[in-house]
Amino acid sequence: MQFHDTDLPGLKLVTLDVRRDARGAFSRLFCQREMAAAGVPHAIAQVNHSQTAQKGSVRGLHFQRPPVTETKLIRCVRGAVWDVAVDLRAGSPTFLQWRAFELSADQPRMVVIPDGFAHGFQTLTDDAELIYFHSEFYAPEHEDGFHAQDATLAIAWPLPMAQQSDRDRQLPSVPTDFKGLTLL
């Protein structure tokens, strides 16, 4: 794995080393030693898999509040998505800035979204699937999110929104007094 820093501290794009032969291909999705060497010291607590049927659908923007903020390692294993990370860290010089990356099953790359970021994505194809590695267990009492079409964030989604869950449609906008997440 090759880790590439972005201009949002802690947010990394990961290029996978793919070995190919007559049978197909092989790549490593996680190595705790390589992650720690790249400045991502967390162990994996949980792995999730999402399937989204319709192109243009949006999931997010989701995050967990302290004390269970989480780092996510995300890989698209079918189709393609436009993956978005938003910096919610209190005092960060990139507070409320977002970056997006196209992830697809055809590209050997992943994204590391650090503690204190919100995450969401829009499907660029029908039948898109993601694998998420989480550094924390899901904690519903600390679950939170912001609306994907929040005017303060002004995320430029590449497609018209086809679908959102009822929960995501009801997420609030970023409050004007929001100072960010204080990481422990």
List the catalytic residues. Answer: 62, 132
Sorted by sequence, the CB contacts under 8 Å of residue 96 that are 6+ apart come out as 86, 87, 88, 152, 153, 174
**How many whole angstroms separate alpha carbon 101 and alpha carbon 5?**
13
Type of residue numbered 35: M
Q: Which residue has the tokens 């906008």?
A: 173
* Helical spans, DSSP H, in the chain: 32-37, 166-169
Q: Which whole-number Å values give the CA distances from 28 to 14, 18, 22, 35, in the listed order?
A: 11, 8, 18, 12
Q: Which of these, 116, 119, 115, 114, lies nearest to 100 by C-alpha position?
A: 119
Q: Three-state SS for 32?
A: helix
